[in-house]
Structures are given as C-alpha cells and as structure tokens.
C-alpha cells in the first residue's frame, strides 16, 4: 500500500495543488523564502492553530538530479520542508527517506505559479515554477500503461453499455478509463433540417474500463450536458454545461451565452459546481490549471481567463497582442500557451487575400506575450501533439484564394515552435475522400498522432498518413469519439433511413 510520509505545512501562498484543511497563515518575508543552501531549496513550515499542517495532495514524480549546483526533480526546482530535510552533497533525506542522485521521487505538493525565485537561484535552478513539497511518498506509483487491447487489425465491439441510445454525448479519457456523460435522447432532427431542440440534454453518464472490459454508471451531472467544451486535469474532468433546450438562457450583457462550469472527480465519483469564468470559451488543460479561451474578440466582453483549482478562482489573462480577431484557438505545449487567430486587420484594410492565421505565445507564468511570425494558412482546429501545433484540415475553398497572387491558401499546416517553421500536411492517399468531422467530431490527438475523419492517423513529425481499419458499424453522425492512451473509442450517435433518425447505444474500440 502506498503511504504519504510527513504531510508537512505549506505556506499560504497561491498554490495550484489541492489543499486540505487550508487556513490563513501569515506569509514569510521575501528574505526568508525560499532558503537556498548548498544547492537545495527549503522553506520553514508554519504550524496551524489546531496543531496540524496544511497538506498538498497533488502528486509529483521525477528523477532527482543535481545540475548547475541545484537539486532538481524531473527538471523542476522542489522546495522541501527545512526541518525534515538534509542534503550532504550526495544523499537527500526527507522525513527519514533517503534519495541519491538518479533515484526517482514521488512527492505531494503544489506548484507555486505566482512565485518568482530570486535571480541568483533562477540562474542555477532555471525559470520553471517551483513545486512546494508537503510530503514524500515511499513507493513510486507505477506509470499508467495502455490496456492490453487486440491488435490494430479491426475494431472490436464493446459490451452493452448502461446508457440509453443517444447522440452528442460528451466524452473524455479520464485517469484510466473512458467517461461518457449527457447527450440527447430525443428524436433526431432530419438531415439538413433546422429544428428547434426538444427535450433537455441528459445528465446521466457511465465509464468504460478497457483494462477490465466493463461499464459502470457514474453519478449524474447536476445539469444537462452536451458536447460543448471540456478539459482533463489529472483525475478531474472539467466541462461547461450549456443546454439551449431549457429556453431560459438569455445572452448576457456581453452578448455571450452564459454557461455553468462543472468538475467531475473520477476517484470519488462526485460532481462539483464551480464559479463560472468571466465569459465562456474553449477549455484547455494547462498543466494543473484550466484555461478558458474566447473564440472571438470582435466584440467587447470576450475574456480569456485561468482557473486555479487550489483557490477556486478565475483570473483574467493579459490581452493578447493579435488585436481584433476571430477563430481564436489555443493549445498548451511545452509549458506555454500558443494562441492562433485570424486577424481582422486585413479585412478592415480591404486586403485581397484571405485572413491568415497569426500566432502568439504566453509564457508559463501567464504574464508575457510574444508575437510569432505570421503563417500562410487560413486554418482552424489547432492541436498540440508531438511538440508541434497541427492545423489538421485539408480543404481549400474558393473564397480563400489569394486574388493578387492567384494561388490558393491551404487551411492546414504543421508549426514547429522550436524553429518557428511551417511544413505542409502530408498528402492523403490518392483519391481518398475525407470528412474531417466524421462522426460529428473534429480531429483529435491520440498518442503522438492526430485522428482525422475517423479513418486516418497523421504523424506530424514523420509526415506520414496511416489508414485505419474500416469501421464495422454503419456511418453515423453526432457520435462520441474518445482517444485514450493508445486506443480510439466510438460510441452512440445517430443514423438516418431517409428522414427518420435513430439514436444508438453501441460502441467500438480500436487498439493502436
């Protein structure tokens, strides 16, 4: 059994780990925090009035190294409790547990995102945000490995799920299983028709464990849930709930529809309603934080913001330097935010060419923006995969022709942040039609590749396209498509016989 040793005090600073029993304590002066002695960073614990300590429950693992005169864990500076820690230049002892350079360590703590180490310490230890350690764990947790799935020769049918037939359910890989929640069970709208939504979306859900090949119901969400926006941080699924069928969600003063912000915790099978951000957007996991990125800043009111789980608060991000823009999308890659958007500057100036994607990066502290060179693509759907930013769309439409040059602009491309260079998407197999939104879902990441149209995997580093096995089910829209560690799950959705639509509850899994 794993056990946490020495749940030490943490300081009342802005921590992003999950605190238990937090209380207000005076912060030490800058001269006392942190202490840097013989290459190891430490801090003084603060005992609470009840005699206990604040403990941090987020788990961090990494290899102990000594670089440039600084002790690091997994490349990050760790702050250890001073009264429980000794370092003799060879052996680090924390609460009775001994570590040598090269050993793996597991520690409970929290990232001090708002703490900037002194310049002399940063010169030795680097610019990464420090981790304040509350305790060390005697056993190193085993890494989560992909389940032992059948080879990638064919899709396998899943056992019967406990959910009723439906479409537009939200799905995600959380911890070690696939989670599906919400969706619509009412009569589908005929193809190409514009129907008002009928019944509210569902609140029930289930998880599928590929290790045991079993389904299990999960606690119902407190509100109806659709395929809207979600992000996974550790064992928590964060999502926006917005159900237009209720009919009572009027746009706010900024013209944007209000949303509710929810968190589902897999380990405890519980839902929590959290404070909503200043405005809705796309949710992005950024390390141990969650970002909400507005899709447009053409009108006032669209605010990008960051949610800190430790303090349950949203904080507005600084304004980006791309000015007024639309189709705003962002990814979190290599400890920085990369924002892409189509600028309105060229439109306002009457440019004959299309609005191309412009890029900017926001540093790990979420304080400083840097503008990157403009692209020559018009695409959407940015994904972070294998150290690249991939815009995985192949279409070129007539209204995206550069009239002055007479050359088409591609929608898609691959951006390498290291050299800031662009490469074209690899060619599809000759004569292959492609619907990037097959099953009603856009491209998404699976491992170090991108799933496109439910039938191809794109390797952005090698520039290779790999066809997937033919599906064993009839084509359908609005299905739930989830990419796991090394697998793809497709569940539910709707098919049509003429104008009559039928919801489904069957599912299929492909191991890669």
Q: What is the pLDDT of residue 408?
A: 63
Give residue-wise pLDDT tens across range 490-509. Answer: 999 999 887 788 999 999 99
Comparison of pLDDT for 440 and 129, the residue scoring more: 129
Comparison of pLDDT for 456 and 4, the residue scoring more: 456
The lowest-confidence range among 59-68, 435-444, 478-487 is 435-444
- Strands 487-491 vs 480-483: parallel, antiparallel or unpaired: antiparallel
Q: What percent of the chain has pLDDT over 90?
A: 45
Q: Where are the alpha helices (DSSP H) in 304-378?
A: 345-348
pLDDT band (50, 70, 90) for residue 6: very low
- Flag whether pLDDT at 199 surpasses 90: no
Q: Where are the alpha helices (DSSP H) in 330-395?
A: 345-348
Average pLDDT over residues 336-343: 90
Residue 223 contacts residue 260 (beta carbons within 8 Å): yes
Give residue-wise pLDDT tens across range 219-272. Answer: 999 999 988 889 999 899 999 987 555 444 444 434 445 578 999 999 999 999
Q: What is the pLDDT of residue 30?
A: 42
Average pLDDT over residues 299-323: 85
**How many angstroms separate the CA atoms of 139 and 95, rounded?**
14
Average pLDDT over residues 58-65: 86
Cα 388 versus chain centre, distance: 15
- Flag whether pLDDT at 54 surpasses 80: no
Cα 78 versus chain centre, distance: 24
What rounded mean pLDDT belongs to the chain?
A: 81
List Cβ neighbours of 470 (8 Å cut-off, separation of 6 or more): none
Q: How many CA atoms lie within 13 A of 411 on its CB side?
A: 14
Q: What is the pLDDT of residue 4?
A: 29
Q: What is the pLDDT of residue 397?
A: 43
- Flag whether pLDDT at 330 surpasses 80: yes
The lowest-confidence range among 36-40, 88-92, 291-295, 302-306 is 302-306
Give residue-wise pLDDT tens across range 87-138. Answer: 998 999 999 999 999 999 998 888 887 778 898 899 999 888 899 898 888 8
- Flag whether pLDDT at 462 surpasses 50: yes
pLDDT band (50, 70, 90) for residue 299: low
Comparison of pLDDT for 33 and 372, the residue scoring more: 372
- Flag whether pLDDT at 511 surpasses 90: no
pLDDT band (50, 70, 90) for residue 2: very low
Average pLDDT over residues 328-333: 94
- Any idea what the Cα angle at residue 209 is, between residues 205 and 211, rounded to 5°? 180
Q: What is the pLDDT of residue 290?
A: 95
Region class of 268: left (phi > 0), else alpha (psi between -120 and 50), else beta = alpha
Q: What is the pLDDT of residue 191?
A: 76
């Amino acid at each position: 059994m794993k056990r946490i040793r020495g749940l030490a005090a943490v300081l009342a600073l802005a921590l992003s780990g999950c605190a238990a029993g937090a209380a207000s304590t005076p912060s030490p002066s800058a001269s006392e925090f942190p202490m840097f002695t013989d290459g190891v960073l430490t801090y003084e614990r603060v005992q609470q009035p009840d005699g206990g300590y604040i403990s941090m429950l987020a788990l961090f693992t990494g290899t102990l190294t000594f670089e440039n005169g600084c002790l690091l864990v997994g490349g990050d500076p760790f702050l250890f409790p001073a009264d429980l820690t000794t370092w003799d230049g060879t052996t680090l002892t924390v609460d009775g547990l001994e570590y040598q350079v090269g050993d793996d360590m597991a520690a409970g703590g929290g990232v001090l995102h708002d703490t900037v180490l002194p310049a002399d310490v940063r010169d030795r230890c680097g610019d990464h945000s420090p981790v304040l350690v509350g305790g060390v764990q005697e056993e190193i947790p085993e890494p989560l490995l992909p389940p032992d799935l059948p080879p990638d020769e064919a899709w396998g049918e899943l056992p019967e799920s406990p959910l009723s037939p439906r479409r537009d359910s939200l799905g995600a890989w959380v911890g070690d299983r696939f989670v599906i929640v919400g969706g619509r069970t009412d009569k589908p709208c005929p193809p190409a028709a514009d129907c008002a939504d009928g019944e509210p979306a569902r609140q029930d859900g289930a998880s599928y464990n590929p290790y045991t090949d079993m389904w299990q119901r999960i606690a119902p969400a407190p509100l109806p849930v659709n395929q809207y926006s979600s992000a996974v941080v550790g064992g928590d699924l964060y999502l926006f709930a917005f159900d237009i069928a209720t009919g009572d969600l009027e746009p706010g003063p900024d013209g944007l529809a209000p949303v509710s912000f929810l968190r589902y915790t897999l380990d405890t099978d519980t839902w929590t309603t959290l404070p909503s951000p200043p405005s809705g957007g796309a949710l992005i996991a950024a390390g141990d934080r969650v970002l909400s990125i507005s899709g447009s800043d053409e009108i006032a009111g669209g605010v990008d913001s960051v949610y800190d789980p430790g303090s349950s608060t949203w904080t507005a991000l600084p304004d980006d330097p791309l000015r007024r823009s639309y189709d705003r999308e962002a990814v979190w890659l290599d400890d920085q935010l990369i924002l892409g958007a189509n600028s309105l500057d060229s439109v306002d100036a009457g440019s004959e060419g299309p609005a191309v994607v412009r890029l900017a990066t926001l540093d790990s502290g979420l304080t400083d923006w840097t503008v990157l060179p403009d692209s020559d693509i018009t695409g959407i759907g940015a994904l972070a995969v294998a150290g690249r930013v991939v815009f995985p769309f192949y279409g070129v439409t007539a209204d995206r022709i550069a009239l002055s040059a007479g050359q088409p602009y591609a929608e898609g491309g691959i951006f390498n942040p290291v050299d800031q260079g662009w490469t074209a998407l690899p060619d599809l197999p000759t004569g292959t039609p492609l619907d990037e939104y097959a099953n009603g879902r856009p491209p998404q990441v699976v491992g170090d590749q991108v799933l496109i149209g439910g039938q191809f995997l794109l390797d952005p580093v090698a520039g290779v396209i790999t066809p997937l096995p033919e599906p064993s089910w009839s084509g359908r829209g609005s299905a739930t498509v989830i990419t796991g560690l090394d697998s793809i799950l497709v569940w539910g959705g709707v098919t049509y016989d003429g104008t009559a639509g039928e919801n489904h509850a069957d599912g299929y899994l492909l191991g890669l």
